[in-house]
């Protein structure tokens, strides 16, 4: 099905793909409600509220949001002016700073920590050690109980950090299966929390398969499956309601004349998929969600465009799968996520590694914000929305005319970087110079 793929994509050039299967929000939400009903998102939001007192006690850095794992929404007007070679981007530009989420410093803190908390709650409820009406600070006294159990996960880095730090804090034994793309400092940080790190000289998909196999052989082990987990997905989806509050607090209206455009980096697809799912529930056709992937590892784009979903590897199409964006180095996408995104996602941009570092430096220079390279991928969507022919056509077809775009809010979702060591940050700032 190469004929369905953009020529620039196959040539490893930056490009944009517009989803031809996207439906109206009402139709998409009705269809997807059969798979994951909105009541499940509400249940996830309520569960996080139950855990808030515990998180505030164990992780004082969550106090700003009263025990909730949340990040700032910050307008970045200077970055906006400089991003497009001095061409003004219509509308306002914001950074959703999940790069600075407490505890794990990445968007994975939303889904990963949520799934660990849900698993802990399930175990404690089943054992009669907890009820949903309890003060959840009592969980600090259950470390020996949780210590009987193991949690395992396959990761390129950030998901492993969120699972490892949270699991270890509760008292679980945690094993993180790390692919060859994982940064050494992330492995070192996990080990400092008492997490067992198993290293593989192979891809993310191999690490996941190895972790799943090892976990399945142990009846006391629980595997967090980034490719298939609905709990991870729900943790990410809960972000939408929090964002809605932040937009309201900032005096921002989202409607047909004031659209919201969101650009999210994608690896296997779980985090951006869950966030998109939640946003489409709240804002319907007034929100337009785009993913961003490396030119060398566009697995979600390939999975959706060919409709092969998880049954492909980027290497099948001649891509190396190697990228500086370690969190996006997933050669095969989540079939669960790509299927749910089929009627919802607006499109996908691809970006070259070199440009990730350009965005990283520009953000630091203009706004004083430091994030990691993979977290910068969303900027390619803002910069190229009106430069790629396919997305220009998308804007015309969806009423995103110049007068409307002047009232738009663009949000680049920064997915990680706060825990990057200072010496590594310095290296990032001079890479590809």
Domain that holds residue 247: 2-104+232-430
Are 207 and 268 in a shared domain?
A: no
One domain, residues 194 and 266: no
Rg (CA), the chain: 20
Burial 254-278 (b: 16+ CB within 10 A, else e): beeeebbbbbbbbbbbbbbbbbbbb
* % of the chain residues with pLDDT over 70: 98
Pairing of strands 221-224, 260-265: unpaired
267/310 same-domain check: yes
Same-domain status, 113 and 215? yes
Percent of the chain with pLDDT over 90: 90
pLDDT category of residue 312 using cuts at 50, 70 and 90: very high
Looking at residue 214, what DSSP letter applies?
Answer: H
Q: pLDDT per residue over 277-290, tens digit each?
A: 999 999 999 999 99
Residue 221 and residue 132 share a domain = yes
Q: Are residues 313 and 379 in the same domain?
A: yes
Q: What pLDDT was estimated at residue 2?
A: 53
What pLDDT score was predicted for residue 181?
80
Q: Is it the case that residue 392 has pLDDT exceeding 60?
A: yes
pLDDT score for 72: 98
pLDDT per position as a tens digit, 220-249: 999 999 888 999 999 999 999 999 999 999
Region 300-326 average pLDDT? 95
Q: Are 374 and 266 in contact (CB under 8 A)?
A: no
Strands 287-294 and 16-18: unpaired
- CATH number, domain with residue 135: 3.40.50.1100
Strand 16-18 to 347-351 pairing? antiparallel
| Residue at which a domain ends, from 178, 196, 226 | 226
Return the ∠ at Cα 377 (arms to 93 and 226), rounded to 5°. Answer: 120
Among 182, 206, 226, give the residue marking a domain's end.
226
User: Domain count of the chain?
Assistant: 2
The last residue of a domain, from among 226, 242, 267: 226
Co-location of 268 and 374 in the same domain: yes
pLDDT band for position 179 (cuts 50, 70, 90): confident
Backbone angles phi, psi at 290, to 5 degrees: -125, 140
Instruction: Report pLDDT for 3.
Output: 52
pLDDT for 133 beyond 50 = yes
Alpha-carbon span 417 to 373, nearest angstrom = 8
Return the residue matching tokens 């998929």. 273
262, 118: one domain = no
Same domain, 298 and 426: yes
* Model confidence band, residue 1 (pLDDT cutoffs 50, 70, 90): very low
Tens-digit pLDDT profile for residues 118-132: 999 999 999 999 999
In the predicted model, what is the mean pLDDT of the chain? 95
pLDDT at residue 157 above 90?
Answer: no
User: In sequence order, which ranges of 127-183 are alpha helices (DSSP H)?
Assistant: 143-146, 158-170
Query: Looking at residue 290, what is its pLDDT?
Result: 98
| In a shared domain, residues 286 and 359 | yes
As a whole number of angstroms, the distance between CA 106 and CA 94 comes to 17
pLDDT digits (tens, 9 = 90+) for 55-65: 999 999 999 99
Same structural domain, 151 and 243: no
- What token pair was written down for 422? 């200072």
Model confidence at 87: pLDDT above 80: no
């Amino acid at each position: 099905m190469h004929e369905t793929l953009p020529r620039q994509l196959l040539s490893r050039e930056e490009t944009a793909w517009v989803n031809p299967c996207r439906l109206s929000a009402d139709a998409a939400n009705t269809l997807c409600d059969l798979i994951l009903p909105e009541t499940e998102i509400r249940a996830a939001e309520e569960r996080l509220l139950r855990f808030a007192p515990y998180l505030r006690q164990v992780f004082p850095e969550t106090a700003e949001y009263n025990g909730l794992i949340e990040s700032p929404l910050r307008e970045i007007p200077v970055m906006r002016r400089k991003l497009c070679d001095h061409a003004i981007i219509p509308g306002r530009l914001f950074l959703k700073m999940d790069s600075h989420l407490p505890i794990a410093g990445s968007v994975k803190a939303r889904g990963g920590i949520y799934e660990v908390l849900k698993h802990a709650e399930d175990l404690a409820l089943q054992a009669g050690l907890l009820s949903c009406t309890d003060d959840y600070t009592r969980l600090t006294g259950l470390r020996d109980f949780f210590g009987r159990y193991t949690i395992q996960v396959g990761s390129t880095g950030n998901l492993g950090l969120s699972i490892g730090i949270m699991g270890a804090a509760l008292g679980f034994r945690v094993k993180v299966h790390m692919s060859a793309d994982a940064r050494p400092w992330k492995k070192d940080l996990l080990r400092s929390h008492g997490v067992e790190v198993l290293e593989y000289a192979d891809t993310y998909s191999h690490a996941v398969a190895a972790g799943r196999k090892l976990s399945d052989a142990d009846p006391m082990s629980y595997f967090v499956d980034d490719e298939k987990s609905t709990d991870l997905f729900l943790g990410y989806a809960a972000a939408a309601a929090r964002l809605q509050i932040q937009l309201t607090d900032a005096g921002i209206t989202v409607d047909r004349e004031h659209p919201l455009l969101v650009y999210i980096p994608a690896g296997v697809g779980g985090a951006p998929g869950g966030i998109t799912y939640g946003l489409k529930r709240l804002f319907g056709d007034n929100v337009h969600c785009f993913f961003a992937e490396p030119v060398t590892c566009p697995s979600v784009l390939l999975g959706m465009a060919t409709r092969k979903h998880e049954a492909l590897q980027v290497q099948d199409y001649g891509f190396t799968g190697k990228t500086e964006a370690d969190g996006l180095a997933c050669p095969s996408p989540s079939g669960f996520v790509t299927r749910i995104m089929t009627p919802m996602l607006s499109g996908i941009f691809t970006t070259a590694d070199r440009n990730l570092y350009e965005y990283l430096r520009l953000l630091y220079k203009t706004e004083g914000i430091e994030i990691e390279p993979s977290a910068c991928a969303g900027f390619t969507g803002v910069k190229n929305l009106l430069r790629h022919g396919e997305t220009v056509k998308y804007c015309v077809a969806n009423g995103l005319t110049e007068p409307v775009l002047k009232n738009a809010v663009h949000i680049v979702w920064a997915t990680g970087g706060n825990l990057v060591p200072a010496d590594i940050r310095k290296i990032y700032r001079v890479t590809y110079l």
